[in-house]
Amino acid sequence: MELKANKAFLIPPRSEPSEEILSAARIISKGGCVAVPTETVYGLAANALNEEACKGIFSIKNRPYIDPLIVHVSSFDMLNDIAYTNELALKLAKKYWAGPLTMVLKKKDVISDIVSANLDTVAVRMSKHPIMNALIEASNVPLAAPSANPFGYISPTKAEHVKAQLGDKIELILDGGQCQCGLESTIISLVDETCPKLLRYGPISKEDIEETLAMELEIPKANPAQPTAPGMLKAHYSPNAQFSTFTEISEIEEGFEGAIIYLKRPELITKDSYWLSEDGNLEEIAKNLYDLIRFCDKTYKNIKCQCPKNEGLGAAICDRLRRASEK
Ligand code: TXA
Ligand code: MG
């Protein structure tokens, strides 16, 4: 028999979910929480349509209920189930999904006030990490997942970071190795189509999104009284050590005692010198940033970290370093 051009080949074959994914999906379906890798940072996931399960996330993270959760979807159908889209959202989704972009949209009623912190919007993201997507598919529900760290601390980029801080509170951590981006997703509000807003700097730069939309992004002034995106809170992503930043090496005061984190290998290396990349590659810097800060936070009372140029991906890195410096 002649083989016809087989339509089935147009759809990538789906492999069976692994035993680990199936166990994780069972925990999700019982209303539990699972730590799961994404390309940005590890998330603490629960069924976004189950209020009690989502309350578990807040309790494990010690997260205040005023801080809404990001909901992860694995398909456009799932997106349409939970949020009202618009032209700008579709444009951005087409360009950047699956990937490190979160969009804030008007929510549908299936999203409870617990998830949205009483806002009428929901933050939605489609990760490109195969483990996150496999878990959503196996669970067959959208997953609410904030970063898997205690509220206010820097996000985990390795499974062992999650284990160290939340290991005794969660049943299962899916280990996907080190996260590729290392910084939390860029968040854009598209609720008002005439005025898209950048709520959080991230791996996809402001400049890039502005070019795609052919529009400028507004950056709302942080309003501590109404933290609609507490990722915008001044003190967030904070290590325990005294943390400060520098631009030029000459700014480091003589006699400084503590870890010095450089963007690239410095000329003068002391026992307390660390560097985020050999040659100053921004992607590598972003990927290693939280891991190295966590490492130094275990051994030093003081940490100084060099800031890159405040543009492109550098803007997201500077943003996190600034917040880490606030106490
Ligand atoms: O990369 C990421 O986005 C990671 C991974 C796990 O997906 N998630 C993450 O979630 O960083 P979280 O909860 O740590 O940060 C989400 C931020 C919070 O600052 C929250 O306030 C904001 O998103 N957010 C969530 N829903 C919102 C909404 N409806 N309006 C405005 N901001 C919202
Ligand atoms: Mg977080």
pLDDT at 10: 44
φ/ψ (deg, to 5) at 214: 50, 40
Give the number of the atom of ligand 1 that is nearest the alpha carbon of residue 229: 21
Which atom of ligand 1 is least distant from the CA of 232? 19
pLDDT at 326: 86
- The ligand 1 atom at the shortest distance from the C-alpha of residue 116 is 29
Q: Is the beta carbon of 132 within 6 A of some atom in ligand 1?
A: no
Ligand 1 atom nearest to 149, measured from its CA: 14
| Ligand 2 geometric centre to CA of 238 (Å) | 11
Ligand 1 centre to CA of 69 (Å) is 5
Model confidence over 27-86: pLDDT tens digits? 999 999 999 999 999 999 999 999 999 999 999 999 999 999 999 999 999 999 999 999
The string of pLDDT tens digits covering residues 186-198 is: 999 999 999 999 9
Q: Give me the pLDDT at residue 54, please.
A: 98
Q: Is the pLDDT of residue 231 over 60?
A: no
The finding on whether 157 has its CB within 6 A of some atom of ligand 1 is no
Q: Is the CB of 133 under 6 A from ligand 1?
A: no
Q: Among 40, 42, 102, which residue has the most ligand 1 atoms within 8 Å of its CB, making it the best to mutate?
A: 102
Query: Would the pLDDT of 223 be above 70?
Result: no
Nearest-angstrom CA–CA distance, 187 and 200? 5
Residue-level pLDDT at 16: 80
Region of poorest pLDDT, from 127-141, 143-157, 226-240: 226-240
- Flag whether the pTM goes above 0.85: yes
Q: 84 phi and psi, to 5 degrees?
A: -90, 120
Q: Could you tell me if the CB of 39 is within 6 A of ligand 1?
A: no
As a whole-number percent, the residues of the chain with pLDDT over 90 amount to 88
Quick one: tokens of 126?
């489609």
Q: Does 204 score more than 70 pLDDT?
A: yes
User: Which atom of ligand 1 is least distant from the CA of 43?
Assistant: 6
pLDDT in tens, 302-312: 999 999 999 99
Q: Cα angle vertex 57, ends 298, 118, to 5°?
A: 125
Tokens 């970071």 sit on residue: 161
pLDDT score of 274: 98
**Shortest-distance ligand to the CA of residue 146:** 1
User: Given a cut of 60, is residue 9 above it in pLDDT?
Assistant: no
pLDDT at 224: 55
Q: Please say whether the beta carbons of 28 and 47 come within 8 A.
A: yes
- Residue 53 C-alpha to ligand 2 middle, in angstroms? 18
Q: Is pLDDT of 258 > 90?
A: yes
pLDDT band at 4 (very low <50, low <70, confident <90, very high): very low
Q: How far is the CA of 68 from the centre of ligand 1 (A)?
A: 7
Burial zone of 187 (CB within 10 Å; 0-12 exposed, 13-18 middle, 19+ buried): buried
Measured from the Cβ of residue 25, the count of other Cβ atoms closer than 10 Å reads 20
pLDDT for 1: 37
- CA-nearest residue for atom 20, ligand 1, is 229
Is there an atom of ligand 1 within 6 Å of 263 CB?
no
| Residue 17 pLDDT grade (very low, low, confident, very high; cuts 50, 70, 90) | confident
Answer yes or no: is pLDDT of 226 > 60. no
